[in-house]
Chains A and B, each alone.
Chain A
Amino acid sequence: MIAPAVTSILIEPRTPEDSGFDLWRNFARNLLLSGTLPDLVDFHDAHDAPSPSLGLLPPNPPAPQIRPHSSKLPHVPKSFLDDAFFAAHHRSPHRWNLLYRLLWKLQRDKNLLHIEVDPWVSEFRSLSRQVRHDLHKMHAFVRFRKVQDRKGEHFIAWHKPAHRILALATPFFAERFAVMRWTILTPDNSVSWNPATRSATFGPGADRSQAPAEDELEHLWQTYYSSIFNPARLNPSVMRSHMPVKYWSTLPEIDLLPSLITRANSRVASMVFTQQATPSAQPFVPTNATLTMLQQALSACQGCSLFHYATQAVTGRGPSTAALMLVGEQPGDKEDLAGEPFVGPAGELLRRACRELDIAPDALYMTNAVKHFKFVQRGKLRIHKNPAQSEVNACRPWLEAEIQALKPKVILCMGATSAKALLGGTFALMRDHGHPVSTRYCDETIATVHPSAILRTGDKAKAQDLYGMMKADLAMAWSRSRRPHVMDVKSESRLSRSSP
């Protein structure tokens, strides 16, 4: 018995963007009509098959005439055509044969496509799925580079898709970048978009050297890529599974990967270290201490690095029975040398205000939010420098212990630093000054400007305003601290307890 001859068919697309699907569809329709069994037909691609001109393959059989009565035409579910269209762009040389075999089986079993576990259906679906996946990745990983030529901006990308999908991908880029002039080059073919005519032109394949070598924006993109990555969550295998290595060659951010990955662990370690090393004076502050004890303990404080540079820690001064506590920012040059708060020019201004208001400065307890002087050396001068927030935080245990020991009726914060230390980060001095606020430290916490801010103001009139403002706030704080005794039994006992 002689085995029937296998018909060889060559799918030979005419244009670079054609997948050959319509050619296959015509052949398949005719073969079905002539009742050709799947085993007796063998499809080839023009680019894979040995050239027919060498005589290795017989020429395609003449196409049988399709009879016009459509009832004889084969029918297939729409979902077959949809997926077959995608599968046609796959690089597998067997796809045409698989499609024909499935088409043949579908004529006998209309429901076959629903049975995804059927080996033929499963292979068919997986071809189409792989093409869709490659298409999705192409939408994601094409990277344009901008060049300027005579006609203006031109965005050019080189991409190497796993399958022959450029024509499938073009509508996406055409819609997204309709107003740009762009070109995508792939090894198989290329496409250029003309924004004026809103049309795409396909051309031959290209190699990488035909695309621009760089883009000015890539270093910004790399900056973004390395900043948005969280080294504490390093997980390169997940990254590789989503962004397979085959696509890496055209992604500018990939150059950074080795250094990002190797440096991640040390970055996390340094984060934890800086957190652990957050400075705090807490270990140096005695618990339940009186003011005298605090003053003695303060000189040993090494809670933050400021103690290295300052002459000495400046303790608070004033009677332990004081009802009004003044909190400044930090000691200045004079205070640092004298070891007493508010003895420099700013202190002088404060004392002047006190005199004018008939307040004895000695009746007040004066201290600072930060106990050591912070400065920058300029020649012989030591120029005051604002303490960093971390230094204010580090020193807060001292201030809290002083408040605890003194239990003042009223606290007057002088300047934004001390106001923020006691009233929270949202406190805005110029908006909220002079309003008594109840805090966990004291029933009446008031803020006003720091006298040195008045001294720094160049404008005389403005300085006068600020001085008036400080004086008014000071007067209010003073009068509230001396209000005839709403002071209840509790406050009385507080005072007596706090006396040394």
Chain B
Amino acid sequence: MNTQQKLEILADAAKYDASCASSGATRAGNGKGVGHTDGTGICHSYTPDGRCVSLLKILLTNFCTYDCVFCVNRASSDIRRARFTVEEVVSLTLDFYKRNYIEGLFLSSGIIQSPDYTMEQLIQVARSLRLTHHFGGYIHVKAIPGCSGSLIETAGLYADRLSANIELPTQQDLVQLAPEKRSVVIETTMHQIHSRKTEMDEDRRRIRSTPKFAPAGQSTQMVVGATDTTDHEIIHRAASLYSSYRLRRIYYTGFSPYPQADRRLPLAATPLVREHRLYQADWLLRYYGFQAGEITTPDAPDLDLSVDPKTLWARRHPEAFPIDVNAAPRETLLRVPGLGYRNVDRILAIRRYHRLTLEDLRRLRVSVKSISPWIVTADYLPHPSLPPQQPPLQQLSLNLEADPGTISSTLDGQL
């Protein structure tokens, strides 16, 4: 099997991992080998699925002893198998990098022999790139759950980012679909990464020559839609992972069908919009000061696919609106549907010198149509009947179908 055939198999097997970020670490050029990272992350191409191609994302091998139902590489699947040698991965990375195709390498692997053996193989690639070839580009190495702590400690010295995939939102999901994996083991690995990083970062504050450990932190990924776990559970799980292991990102991947899948899995892909809503909820947790409990309720445990979670929260809390953009504090402005955190910061800077009008918001590329029911500006007050007396959601959508004319006229009045 030549390199091209291997690449075909092992890139194809890696495509279900959503992460492709190359940001968060800075490394100056070392003058001995190619490569530097300036912290911003660069997408060198985009594939027709709209995803960025930033790293050479491959598996070292897609042989795997585990039999996780949701995974295309599971032991019981008939797919073609291949294994790269360490040298092949290293030269492929360098050759692509020198032509400016990629920012670096994202290396993962099926579990062969044991977690420790597999992790050692991944480390060999990273070590060869860094020490033999003085490669300064970005390296993301998958941490194999259950491998020994000392291997994690070594991997973090060469890799910019480590990630252990949580795979499925709950332990019950794992029991059902990934019998060899346990969330305790995965979380132990996450904990090892987190505590080692904290330790090294502390040391570096005292001794400046302490090497950096996984400077771009750790991330994880969970597949959603393969089981019927609710968004409520997923969001709570995400919030607890963020707080326990200080993850940079959680990637949510909507389950998508793949060849030779197990029949226990759904046949249709999870709608992309569900994934999108989960990311919106995730952003609300991290950048907008929302608590997990505010985003979904036990009565409506799933996110609404037709409305974004922030608007939904606003509709449930009419008492909090309207908000005066010229006076409200930052945390209140962040709650306004249609205002992103960057625009909130712009508004805070501008209003020290100038009272904002609707026209000003338009110039900040805010959608005035969607924001106007929730705010007060220098020249504008929302219609008093809005939004508190807005009909409940479902009724509104029903009416829209029944008679678009009447609704649009009321909406005009509101605006």
Contact = CB atoms under 8 A, between A and B. Distances in A.
Contacts of A122: 363
Most chain B beta carbons < 10 A, residue from A117, A175, A217, A392: A117
Contact of A225 (B16, B47, B364): B47
For chain B, which range describes its interface: under 10, 10 to 19, 20 to 34, or 35 or more residues?
35 or more
Interface stretch (B236-244, B283-291, B295-303, B347-355): B347-355
A272 B267 contact: yes
A228 B32 CA distance: 31
A155 to B, nearest CB: 6
A268 B272 contact: no
A253 B11 CA distance: 15
Contacts of A242: 43, 46, 50, 52
B99 A217 contact: yes
Contacts of B96: 217, 220-221, 224
A228 B67 contact: no
Interface stretch (B70-78, B157-165, B401-409): B70-78
A146 B98 contact: yes
Contacts of A238: 46, 50
Contacts of A235: 48-50, 272
A144 B272 CA distance: 35
Contact of B34 (A176, A228, A236, A278): A176
Interface string B37-48: 010101111111
B393 to A, nearest CB: 28
A111 B67 contact: no
B256 interface: yes
Interface in B335-357: 346, 349-350, 352-354, 356
Interface stretch (B1-9, B312-320, B379-387): B1-9
Contacts of B51: 229-230, 233
B122 interface: no
A230 B65 contact: no
A133 interface: no
Nearest to B258: A271
A59 B372 CA distance: 53
Contacts of A425: 65-67, 74-76
Contacts of B350: 114-117
For chain A, which range describes its interface: under 10, 10 to 19, 20 to 34, or 35 or more residues?
35 or more
A177 interface: yes
B184 interface: no
Contact of B4 (A176, A223, A390): A223
Contacts of A145: 99
A257 B48 CA distance: 7
A143 B53 contact: no
Contacts of A227: 7-9, 11-12, 15
Contacts of A146: 98-99
A264 B262 CA distance: 21
B47 A143 contact: no
A274 B50 contact: no
B412 interface: no
Interface string A158-194: 0000000000000010011111100000000000000
B95 interface: yes
Contacts of B272: 233, 235
B329 to A, nearest CB: 19
A479 B77 CA distance: 36
The secondary-structure label for the interface of chain A is helix
A457 interface: no
B373 interface: no
A35 B47 CA distance: 54
Contacts of B262: 278
Interface string B88-107: 00001001101111000000
A203 B108 CA distance: 43
A445 interface: no
A172 B7 CA distance: 29
B101 A221 contact: yes
B346 A116 contact: yes
Interface in B20-72: 28-29, 31-36, 38, 40, 42-53, 56-57, 65-67
B402 to A, nearest CB: 31
A114 B12 contact: no
Nearest to B68: A425
B196 to A, nearest CB: 28
Contacts of B43: 140, 242
Given A224-B56, A260-B48, A390-B78, A276 B363 contact: no
Most chain B beta carbons < 10 A, residue from A142, A215, A392, A424: A424
A176 B65 CA distance: 39
Contacts of A239: 46-50
Contacts of A420: 75
A144 B29 contact: no
B14 A220 contact: no
Contacts of A237: 50
Contacts of A157: 100
Nearest to A177: B34
A237 B50 CA distance: 7
Contacts of B95: 217, 220
Interface string A255-285: 0010011001000101110111010100000
Contacts of A118: 354
B38 A155 contact: no
Contacts of A119: 363
Contact of A115 (B98, B256, B354): B354
Contact of B179 (A229, A233, A424): A424
B146 interface: no
B92 A229 contact: no
A232 B372 CA distance: 37
B67 A426 contact: yes
B350 to A, nearest CB: 5
B392 interface: no
A234 B256 CA distance: 12
A80 interface: no
A393 interface: yes
B49 A229 contact: yes
Most chain A beta carbons < 10 A, residue from B7, B100, B356: B100
Given A116-B350, A390-B78, A178 B31 contact: yes
A307 interface: no
Contacts of B352: 111, 114
Given A117-B356, A233-B49, A228 B29 contact: no
A411 B207 CA distance: 61
19 contacts: A115-B350, A136-B42, A140-B44, A140-B45, A141-B45, A180-B98, A220-B4, A223-B7, A228-B47, A233-B51, A233-B256, A235-B49, A236-B48, A239-B47, A271-B261, A275-B259, A275-B261, A388-B78, A426-B67
Given A268-B269, A426-B66, 9 more contacts: A115-B354, A155-B98, A177-B98, A179-B31, A221-B101, A229-B49, A230-B49, A271-B258, A275-B267
Interface of B: 3-4, 7-9, 11-12, 14-16, 28-29, 31-36, 38, 40, 42-53, 56-57, 65-67, 74-78, 92, 95-96, 98-101, 136, 179-180, 256-263, 265, 267-269, 272, 346, 349-350, 352-354, 356, 359-360, 363-364
Ranked nearest first, the 9 interchain pairs of A and B with the lowest CB-CB distance are: A238-B50, A425-B75, A235-B50, A229-B47, A227-B11, A117-B360, A232-B256, A425-B67, A233-B49
